[in-house]
Structure 1
Amino acid sequence: MKHIVFDLDGTLVDSLPGIALALNRALESLGKPIHTAQHIRTLVGRGARRLCADALPADEQNLPASINALLQAFMREYPHTWQQGTIPYEGISDMLERLASDEYRLSVLSNKPHIVTAPLVKHLFPSIPFAPVMGYTPEYPRKPDPASLLHIAASWNTAPSGITMVGDSLHDAHTAQNAGTALILVTWGYALTDDLLTTGAPLCSTVAELERSLRAGTGIWS
């Protein structure tokens, strides 16, 4: 299968430093306790709103006013912090260059707000012909809802079964399952490997292993 959709955070890039900086600045601005980067790592992947809800004190995590206030503060900060420490994982850029030169169709699908996803991908992967690049907008529900992944399949005029989803989380696994695409998971991201093992999907611990799996068409739900 030469149609690949990549998750972004924890799959292609380590974006934790910029996220943690923006979130803690937002929390501080509202007089809320801040978190370690290691704790924030466990909260990433389900979109900015869920990130902010989970970062609040326990008695405020279900209060829309508190969540909205923190989300607004986070979105003021993150466009200015995402470049700080956000880098591709070692070997990712070279792998993408090789896949693109071999005429694989490549896309990015992230729960990160599109207003940040698009410039981040363009900045870090300027020569990679990702099309489309999709971050979260109100037009499509967040992963694991399959609507955005199915939209990519339709834009490629390709059946979902002809696509491989590459991610680092259970959210990505459930997205692929819900859409009917193949799935490969990587272990260098933000989820616990033990959690990923429950999916039954192929797990790749190195970029070289990922590239071999992609070229071999390895994946489940295909």
Structure 2
Amino acid sequence: MKSFAPRAIFFDLDGTLVDSVPDLAEAVRRMLVELGEPSRTDAEVATFVGKGIPTMVERALTVGRAPISPELLAQAITSFMRHYEDTNGKLTRAYPGVVEALPVLRARGLKMGVVTNKAEAFIGPLLDELGLGGFFDCLVGGDSLAKKKPDPEPLWHACQTVGVSREEALMVGDSGNDALCARRAGIPVLLMTYGYNEGVPVDTEDCDGLLSSFLELPPLLKTA
């Protein structure tokens, strides 16, 4: 795999930095109980993650089941947000190597940010709960801007926020959604093989390399 010389690295959150499915799935189940709908397993919810909370909630209610009304979807989203505020960070854990690698990247003088489709209100509290908040110079959520991934705007905004050009940036994610966002933004992208990717094999995605461990990232980086 080729090496990279970025001044800034932007990370997806769920499925890249952290395994958040246990908390997301618990909030989904509480929502479904509240609405009188059939439950979902962690494995099912894992395939629903990636395109933001509204899409995840809609998939939890409709995949393999009957369509729902816009009114029920709006009620479900409100319910999920309330329950996820309670579950966020309870069972979520950083993936192996993340805690060890982030200080190494910071020591090299790299700017770092999180660019995720998770609602902005949940990002900071989750990172702080895991002791990771201090490593990031910007946090861009799915509702931070008018558009979210795979639109390139979140990555461009992150570049502007930390003061780098897109030629000086690198994206690290776990899904085709991350890869497409980076391609549209004109930024190279590496994908982790352990993430979610909506049930699609990650090695089928258009990216610049695959990593099976977060600790594989620092050796690929050279001084810009």
TM over 0.5: yes
Which residue is 1:46 aligned to? 51
Structure 1: stretches of 5+ with no match in the other structure: 218-222
Which residue is 2:78 aligned to? 72
Once the two structures are superposed, the pairs formed by residues 127-166 of structure 1 within 5 Å of their partners are 128-137=134-143, 139-166=145-172
- Indicate yes or no: 2:204 matched with 1:197: yes
Once the two structures are superposed, the pairs formed by residues 50-199 of structure 1 within 5 Å of their partners are 50-57=55-62, 58-61=65-68, 63-126=69-132, 128-137=134-143, 139-191=145-197, 192=199, 194-199=201-206
Query: Structure 2 length as normaliser, TM-score?
Result: 0.90
How far apart, CA to CA, are the structure 2 residues paired with 1:12 and 1:34? 27
How many matched pairs?
215
How far apart, CA to CA, are the structure 2 residues paired with 1:7 and 1:38? 20
Q: Report the AA paired with residue 60 of structure 1.
A: P
How far apart, CA to CA, are the structure 1 residues paired with 2:161 and 2:217? 25
Q: What's the % identity of the aligned pairs? A: 32
How far apart, CA to CA, are the structure 1 residues paired with 2:147 and 2:127? 21
How far apart, CA to CA, are the structure 1 residues paired with 2:19 and 2:67? 29
- Indicate yes or no: 2:32 matched with 1:34: no
SS in 2 for 1:59: coil
How far apart, CA to CA, are the structure 2 residues paired with 1:194 and 1:51? 19
Higher relative contact order (CA 8 A, sep 6+): 2
Structure 2: stretches of 5+ with no match in the other structure: 1-5
Equivalent residues of 2:189, 2:207 under 8 A apart: no
Higher mean alpha-carbon deviation, 153-162 vs 163-172, is at: 153-162
How far apart, CA to CA, are the structure 2 residues paired with 1:83 and 1:198? 29
SS in 1 for 2:206: coil
SS in 1 for 2:96: coil
